[in-house]
Structures are given as C-alpha cells and as structure tokens.
Amino acid sequence: MSGNYEEDIFRRTSIISQIDDCARIVEKIRGAKPVRPVAVDLEGIHLKNISLVQIKTHDDRIYLFRTGLNPELFTKGGIKDLLEDHAVIKVKNLQEFVKSKSSLIMYVSTGYAWCPV
C-alpha cells in the first residue's frame, strides 16, 4: 500500500476518550439530515467489556471511542443512545453476536438495543 493511503486513513481517524468530545460527535451523527447509516464495530464484546467502539460515517470519518478507558462514554457520551437509535441504521457484522452470546448488546431488527448485564 502506498504511504498516501495510510496517511489518509490516519488523517480521517479520531481517537475519543473524553465525554465532551464523544457527546459532540454522537450528536453530529444523530443530527445528520438526512440521517445516514454508520458502520459499527465493537471490540472486547466477547469479554463482556466493550473496550473500543469503532464508527465510520458516510463522510469517511473514523471514530475510535475508548470505552475501556472511559466507560462513561456509553452513558454520558451518548454511545448507548446512538446504538439504540432506530433512526440511525447501523451496519455491523453479526457473526460476533452469534459467537459471543453476550447479554451486553443484542441485535434488534433495524438497530441495537442496550441490555445491561
């Protein structure tokens, strides 16, 4: 791969661990008009501790939410609300859900539902 491709990925990627930054980005995603689908991936779900939430938006921005470092990103940062928002379509590889049998998050028709342990 060329250096330009890798540089472009790094330029479009933001690492988020602060509640204020998280809330601002989540609001931007949820407030988009028209509402756009997002790609979502969760790391650590098989450990029942989601350590990283990865979201890619329609404008090719990549957000890495460090929920393992700051679990309040789910509640105060709004990630929980985003995952539960049926107006925002989430694209996710469901193989992890089938394998993990996790009670943290389960797939529900057009979105995710939050299911605390």
Domain range annotation of the chain: 12-102
Average the pLDDT over each of 24-28, 33-37, 51-55, 105-109 and give the range with the smallest value.
Answer: 105-109
How does pLDDT run across 94-106, given as a tens digit for each residue?
Answer: 554 444 444 344 4
How does pLDDT run across 61-75, given as a tens digit for each residue?
Answer: 999 999 999 999 999
Closest CA to 62 of 8, 104, 115, 99: 8
Average pLDDT of the segment spanning 27-38: 90
CATH superfamily of 12-102: Ribonuclease H-like superfamily/Ribonuclease H (3.30.420.10)
